[in-house]
């Protein structure tokens, strides 16, 4: 019975991928930048889910971009003002071959990637990111058994000494957990910097349960 329940469980996943200067820099020994590697991972997972779990939904939300884009079918014309520097690259939906192709082309550095993967010079609000993800889940997958937000970043202290911003983000994270949305952190370390969870992500471990 448990196996059947697990197999029939529908999963909704949003990849929230940080687009910052350090995330876009390729490693010294060559290879993909952290942002590019994350896009490729999302593309690969989409391909796997199309075959193994065709009812699951996936979406890719870039944050820290100069551009802003929310749900295409929203009637809220002020949405871009609510979620500045959050760019919904692929909407939360059952993955299609077109979604996979979009991620692959961006990861390979096509013309759209050159225009899109431009980091904003303004501070990025984690509160706005979390609220944006919450609204997408509620709009596209309100009744899914499993809803997960994957945050991929190398920024372990997005708000620095701004205690108010940290508190707001923690409250917004609790809003997600209150409706059974899990937040999973995928920290990126660099040779000259080890990701330190204690600066922000472990400040409220009872809220931000990043394993």
Residue 18 maps to a domain? yes
**Within a 13 Å sphere around the CA of 186, how many CA atoms are in the beta-carbon half?**
17
The full length of the chain comes to 211
Gap between the Cα atoms of 34 and 71, Å rounded = 25
The rounded distance, in Å, linking the Cα atoms of 149 and 102 is 20
Q: Residue 16 forms beta bridges with which residues?
A: 61, 151
Describe the crossing of helices 34-52 and 97-107 by its angle, rounded to 10 degrees. Answer: 160
Query: Within a domain: residue 81?
Result: yes
Alpha carbon 203 to its chain's center? 20
- Identify whether 209 is part of a domain: no
pLDDT mean for each 10 residues of the chain (211 residues): 50 97 91 95 93 92 94 60 91 94 90 89 92 96 95 94 90 93 95 92 55 42
Give domain status of residue 29, yes or no: yes
Q: What pLDDT sits at residue 47? A: 93
CATH number, domain with residue 105: 3.40.50.410
Q: What angle do CA 59, 64, 66 make, to 5 degrees?
A: 105
Q: Is 34 part of any domain?
A: yes
What are the Cα distances from residue 111, in Å, to 96, 114, 162?
A: 22, 5, 37
The reported pLDDT for the residue numbered 79 is 54
User: Is 195 among the domain residues?
Assistant: yes
- For residue 77, the model assigns a pLDDT of 53
User: What is the helix (H) or strand (E) element at residue 182, kind and residue range?
Assistant: strand 181-187
Using CA atoms, how far apart are residues 91 and 72, in angstroms rounded to an integer? 8
Total of domains in the chain = 1
- Could you tell me the residue range of the domain that residue 46 belongs to? 10-199
Residue 206 included in any domain: no
Distance CA 116, CA 108 (A): 13
In a domain, 155, yes or no: yes
pLDDT (0 to 100) of residue 9: 73
């Amino acid at each position: 019975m448990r196996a059947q329940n697990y197999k029939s469980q529908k999963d909704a996943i949003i990849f929230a991928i940080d687009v910052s200067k350090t995330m876009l820099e390729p490693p010294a020994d060559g290879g993909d930048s952290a942002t590019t590697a994350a896009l490729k991972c999302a593309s690969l997972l989409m391909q796997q889910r199309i075959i193994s779990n065709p009812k699951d939904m996936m979406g890719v939300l870039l944050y820290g971009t100069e551009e802003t884009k929310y749900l295409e079918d929203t009637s809220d014309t002020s949405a871009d003002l609510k979620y500045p520097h959050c760019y919904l690259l692929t909407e939360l939906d059952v993955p299609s071959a077109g979604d996979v192709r979009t991620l692959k082309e961006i990861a390979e550095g096509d013309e759209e990637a050159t225009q899109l993967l431009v980091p904003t010079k303004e501070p990025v609000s984690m509160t706005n990111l979390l609220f944006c993800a919450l609204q997408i889940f509620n709009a596209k997958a309100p009744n899914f058994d499993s809803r997960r937000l994957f945050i991929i970043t190398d920024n372990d202290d997005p708000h620095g000494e701004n205690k108010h911003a940290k508190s707001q983000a923690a409250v917004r994270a609790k809003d997600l957990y209150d409706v059974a949305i899990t937040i999973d952190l995928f920290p990126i370390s660099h040779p000259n910097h080890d990701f330190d969870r204690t600066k922000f992500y472990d400040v409220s471990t009872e809220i931000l349960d990043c394993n």
